[in-house]
Structure 1
Amino acid sequence: MTSPATARRLWALGEPFHALTYFADETRTAGEAVGLSGFWSVYFALRAAPLGPVGPEVVTATFYNFAPGFVARRVPEVWSSVTPAAALEARLAGVDAAVRRVLGEWAALAEAAEAAELAGVAARAVDQPGRPLAAANAGLDPPTEPHLALWQALTTLREHRGDGHTAALLGREVSGAAAHVLAAAAGRTDREWLQRARGWDDEAWAAAAEELSGRGWLDGEELSAEGLAMVTAIEADTDRLALGPWRALGDTGCDRLAELLAPLRRAVVTAGLFPDRNPIGVPDPT
């Protein structure tokens, strides 16, 4: 039977393809073409667009791990520059251009259509209650071109996983800032990059670290034995909560999708479009 490890592996394989919408120059160009300015305005508008023209409170709540002030510097101002509908078109345009540059003729191959079909089965099976970002993406019409349909399906699935991760963190009363402190202590990514990319200043970081130390989860800047157990439990819960759609696809479908995603991941990473130790903190899909 499909296991939580399957959910983790498919996330690790699919995330670099999804993340073209963050790291590819084509995405920023597409965002700027519809009136957005700067990396973070493009990021927040394109990722939040499925939710509609929401304010900073909703974006902070659903994205979970960004400092509220960091969000408020871009939202809701982005909606004065672009409508959510235009932002949705821009993110697909950016991904389309990036895929055609990095993967060339792959977009027209049967493998692209097969991957889109398999990922689509899983994406249509996401459980939506309590999963706002997954539900918002699941409510979008799938693109007709296979490589874009694959991107949209993987995006729905990763936001579904992220919604579950938020639930796992909330269940253990781990704030957004504290989640980053734990990630850095676990060695998944770097403090400097996390602070720069999520907006937490040194004071907020220190306060989160102090709170975690008081709970016995940190030993200096490293995880204590209890902290390691808690991080392991949070990740295990996240994998378990992400499993439903992959069970719908089944073992054979999951294995085939993993086979199809592996070369895409290699191509994106080789092209430098999924930087090492970036803030997403995706593990190596071993």
Structure 2
Amino acid sequence: MTSPGTARRLWALGEPFHALTYFADECRSAAQAAGLTGFWSAYFALRAAPLGPVGPEVVTAAFYNFAPGFVARRVPAVWDAVTPEAALAARLAGVDAAAGRVLVPDWPAAEAAALAGIAAAAVDLPGRPLAAGNAGLPVPGEPHLALWQALTTLREHRGDGHNAALLQREISGVGAHVLAAAAGRTEKEWLMRARGWDAQAWDAAVEDLAGRGWLADGELTAEGTAIVAAVEADTDRLALGPWRELGDARCDRLAELLGPLRRAVLAAGLWPDRNPIGVPDPD
């Protein structure tokens, strides 16, 4: 039976290609050409576009780990600059342009897209708003864009499950970042800047987590380490369904195909070191 580790491995392999939409200059240029000014306006519009012209409350709920005020400074104003349909077109245009820098010659994009597409078509939708929004979009005709869309649906499915694992343990968005920083997965300063939390909110989360016995002097306790591991284990388990549909042999083949693509994205400098996404290196 396909193991939860498979879900983590394929996420780690595929996430850098998905993240072109955040980090590639071509993607920022496409967003600007559509009318979106500034990194965060583009981020919120392009990522939230599958949900329609939603307000800050919905974006805060679905994205989970951003400070509400940080979201409200961009949403719903982004919909005055661009429609969700135009944002969706811009994100595909940007990825299409950026892919020219990372696709390996003769790399079998059609095969990778077909495999990822089988998994993406099998995502379970209840309680998964971002996965559902992406699953409802048309599949692009170009294989590399079909692959990007499938990987995007799958990573949002995983993220929706991660949010459920946090919520079940009453871990807030800022609390999740405090735990991630204490675990050494990314930097506190970057997380605060990239997710909009101020020092007061961060310190309050530290105090709460320390009161629960999960932190001591800013470091994870044994119980805190166990909680972080449990959240990650639940995230992997909740992400597993689509990969079970694909099956072990085809999961292994997709991993084999994604490896060179991931390395090409890293070699092009399009995957910033210790970025706030917090993806581990694939095993």
Taking structure 2 as the reference length, the TM-score comes to 0.99
The separation in 2 between residues aligned to 1:95 and 1:222, in whole angstroms, is: 39
Letter in 1 for 2:67: A
The answer (yes or no) to whether the contact 2:102–2:261 under 8 Å persists in 1 is: no
User: Shift of the alpha carbon at 1:104?
Assistant: 5.7
What is the 5 A alignment of 1:56-205?
A: 56-103=56-103, 105-106=105-106, 109=107, 111-205=108-202
Secondary structure of the structure 1 residue equivalent to 2:247: helix
Letter in 1 for 2:131: A
The separation in 1 between residues aligned to 2:262 and 2:212, in whole angstroms, is: 38
Is residue 3 from structure 1 mapped to residue 3 from structure 2 by the alignment? yes
| 1:18 alignment partner in structure 2 | 18
1:4-62 CA-partner distances (Å, limit 9, x unpaired): 00000000000000000000011110000011100000000000000000000000000
User: Shift of the alpha carbon at 1:102?
Assistant: 2.5
The separation in 2 between residues aligned to 1:134 and 1:101, in whole angstroms, is: 27
The answer (yes or no) to whether the contact 2:101–2:268 under 8 Å persists in 1 is: no
Letter in 2 for 1:63: F
Secondary structure of the structure 2 residue equivalent to 1:114: helix
| 1:209 alignment partner in structure 2 | 206
How many matched pairs? Answer: 283
The answer (yes or no) to whether the contact 2:102–2:265 under 8 Å persists in 1 is: yes
Secondary structure of the structure 1 residue equivalent to 2:111: helix
Letter in 1 for 2:32: E
1:197-249 CA-partner distances (Å, limit 9, x unpaired): 00001110000000000000001111100000000000000000000000000
The separation in 2 between residues aligned to 1:233 and 1:207, in whole angstroms, is: 23
Letter in 2 for 1:169: L
Secondary structure of the structure 1 residue equivalent to 2:62: helix
The separation in 2 between residues aligned to 1:6 and 1:173, in whole angstroms, is: 27
The separation in 1 between residues aligned to 2:33 and 2:190, in whole angstroms, is: 27
The separation in 1 between residues aligned to 2:230 and 2:129, in whole angstroms, is: 23
Taking structure 1 as the reference length, the TM-score comes to 0.98
What is the 5 A alignment of 1:223-234?
A: 223-234=220-231
| 2:255 alignment partner in structure 1 | 258
Structure 2: 5+ residue stretches without partners: none
Letter in 2 for 1:73: R
% identical aligned pairs: 79
Letter in 1 for 2:139: P
The separation in 1 between residues aligned to 2:134 and 2:105, in whole angstroms, is: 27
| 2:233 alignment partner in structure 1 | 236
The separation in 1 between residues aligned to 2:96 and 2:231, in whole angstroms, is: 34
Letter in 2 for 1:234: V
The answer (yes or no) to whether the contact 2:14–2:262 under 8 Å persists in 1 is: yes
The separation in 2 between residues aligned to 1:146 and 1:133, in whole angstroms, is: 22
* Alignment RMSD: 0.7
1:156-176 CA-partner distances (Å, limit 9, x unpaired): 000000000000000000000
The separation in 2 between residues aligned to 1:198 and 1:229, in whole angstroms, is: 25
Secondary structure of the structure 2 residue equivalent to 1:136: helix
User: Shift of the alpha carbon at 1:150?
Assistant: 0.2
118-127 vs 214-223, which moves further: 214-223
The separation in 2 between residues aligned to 1:220 and 1:13, in whole angstroms, is: 34
The answer (yes or no) to whether the contact 2:175–2:205 under 8 Å persists in 1 is: yes
The separation in 1 between residues aligned to 2:206 and 2:260, in whole angstroms, is: 39
